[in-house]
Amino acid sequence: MIIKKAELETVCGITSKLPENTRPEVAFAGKSNVGKSSLINGLVNRKALARTSSQPGKTQTINFYNVNDAIYFVDLPGYGYAQANENVKAQWGKMIEDYLHRSKQLKEVFLLIDIRHAPSENDRIMYGWIKRNGYNPIIIATKLDKINRSQIQKQLKLIKTTLEADKDTVIIPFSSVTKQGRDEIYEILDHLIEADVAQPAENK
């Protein structure tokens, strides 16, 4: 995948209507500070397209990034921020679940999990939401550069077991520093774009 264009096109708040995109969408979900912005920036070869923050819980909108006029990266609000009040948490949850349920162009969901730790209860809830809405999420195990190579398989197994993930669930270890895992994600995105191009216009 060669990135020729990447721009923030639509921002949806709690009361916003979802855009009626005609290109495939892939969603990125994960708890606050798991590295979603860093992953998106790494995929599009930009340092600050998606804003990173030292303050978790900063993203309170659903952000649609137009990539190559061929696919949309959809950045969902980070969940599980302990200092957010219960009303805000409920609103974030509703936004995410509404999007998963209503989007007509959503083709794939990437669920980001910090490879250093077992998935949290919020991660398990998110995994369940995604499954209930008909998607088998691809797990992106972030912060790969933070652990020793000898720990990788053990941590991947821990993630899969804790989520009670299906046997065929794809888990991709990813580092925003070394970009390991990026080519595997690109391959998935390329397949989605190729499938969209091959699809007859009347079926889109």
Amino acid type, 11: V
Mean pLDDT of 37-61: 73
- Is the pTM for the entire model greater than 0.75? yes
Residue range 138-184, pLDDT digits in tens = 999 999 999 999 999 999 999 999 999 988 899 999 999 999 999 99
CA distance 142 to 119: 12
Res 129: pLDDT = 86
The predicted pLDDT at position 55 comes to: 47
Instruction: Label each residue of the chain as H, E or C.
Output: CCCCCEEEEEEECCCCCCCCCCCCEEEEEEECCCCHHHHHHHHHCCCCCCCCCCCCCCCCCEEEEEECCCEEEEECCCECCCCCCHHHHHHHHHHHHHHHHHCCCEEEEEEEEECCCCCCHHHHHHHHHHHHCCCCCEEEEECHHHCCHHHHHHHHHHHHHHHCCCCCCCEEECCCCCCCCHHHHHHHHHHHHHHHHHCCHHHC
Cβ(75)–Cβ(59) below 8 Å: yes
Q: Check residue 145 and give its pLDDT.
A: 95
* 25 pLDDT above the threshold of 80: yes
Q: Is the confidence at residue 204, as pLDDT, over 60?
A: no
Tens-digit pLDDT profile for residues 81-103: 555 556 665 676 778 888 888 89
